[in-house]
Amino acid sequence: MVTISACMIVKNEAAILRRCLDSLKDLYDELVIVDTGSTDDTKAIASEYTDKIYEFEWIDDFSAARNFATSKATCDYVYVPDADEVLDEENRRKFKLLKGILDPQVDIVQMKYVNQLNNGSVYNFDEELRPKLFRRVRTFTFIDPIHETLRLDPVVYDSDIDIIHMQGEVHADRDLRVFEKMLKEGIPVSERLLRLYTRELLSYGTKDNFLAAVPFYKTVSETKGASADLLKLCYIILTKAAVLSDDPVTIMKYAIKDVIMSGTSELCTILGDYFEKRGDLDEAAVWYINAHFETEPEVYLCYKNEMPLEGLIRLCEAKGDKKAADGYRERLKLILESDN
């Protein structure tokens, strides 16, 4: 049987830490908790479960904190739970079974992250596989009987374990602050992070957040050889920033670029909202219809479904067209039911 180090980073998690740790009872062989600056009873609660408690000065870098925590691990595998995660009894049973039969050649075990849409997250789907358990020290072996070579790709196992995400609060302010710090300090932003930054902005960004992002997105949009996907992200954010600044010329500049590239649901919804707020209901309807029926979302599904359909319901009600409003309302209801 493999051994497992559970390694957590925490800050002000007193309200939920016991819930998480109780659900992990008997599953790990070692518990490492790294506190990044709690001012509540987090460390006192953690001490009820382990004496391996460390402090790490928060530097707006989750990877640095994670790496520090895992550096304290001594077991075969490292499991990385967050305080707002819970394993119910069925998934505790699956975890115990996995621990007993796990092939030591497996480098990474992915588990299903569920319940994301019920707690204000920026993700599109309620379930996705995430790497949660990994071999602490990876060995390299040669493969192939002839023309042998090192196996570089990790051995990944997709488990059927569900980790229930029970987020207690929205962390958008913190996340956007970290993104803005990265931009200010010139830290490279991968395409994956850029997509997440775009989602955070579209979900929770204020006018100041959008304006702070403009120079970066403008630079990316003007980079030679930038992919179509990256350009679409840039045009969405630059158009939204222009809407918030009431700058019609810039709105047109970037909206046209997006439409030429086939358009996105996000940008169409942004334009629908722009015209609706200016009282041009017919033009708003055109863009909401395009958002829902004619285009696809680049990063955020609600800009294709909930937002444009809710906009069309408002427009129809404003025009006194109850039948059309009820039709869109029924369509939205069916979509939401199918998502659940």
Which pLDDT tens digit goes with each residue over 109-154? 999 998 755 555 555 556 889 999 999 998 888 878 776 788 889 9
- Above 70 in pLDDT, residue 17? yes
pTM, two decimal places:
0.74
Q: Are residues 21 and 148 in the same domain?
A: yes
Residues 176 and 118 in one domain: no
- At which of 111, 136, 165 does a domain end? 165
Q: What is the CATH number of the domain that holds 43?
A: 3.90.550.10
pLDDT, the chain, mean = 92
Alpha helices per DSSP H over the chain:
17-23, 42-46, 62-71, 89-101, 172-185, 191-204, 207-221, 228-244, 248-260, 265-277, 281-289, 306-318, 322-339
Closest listed residue to residue 49, CA positions, set 28, 68, 66, 69: 28
Whether residues 180 and 311 fall in one domain: yes
Q: How many domains does the chain have?
A: 2
Residues 158 and 257 in one domain: no
* pLDDT for position 138: 86
Q: Could you tell me the strand order of the sheet in which 127-135 lies?
A: 53-55, 30-35, 4-10, 77-79, 127-135, 108-114, 156-165, 85-86
> Rounded to an integer, what distance in angstroms lies between the CA atom of residue 235 and that of residue 281?
24
Same domain, 108 and 84: yes
What pLDDT does residue 150 have?
A: 86
pLDDT at site 340? 60
Domain extent for 251: 172-339
State pLDDT tens for residues 192-222. 899 999 999 999 999 999 999 999 999 999 9
In terms of phi and psi (left: phi > 0; alpha: psi -120 to 50; beta: otherwise), the region of 38 is: beta
Using a 10 angstrom Cβ sphere, with 0-12 exposed, 13-18 middle and 19 or more buried, the burial of residue 261 is middle
- CATH code of the domain covering residue 290: 1.25.40
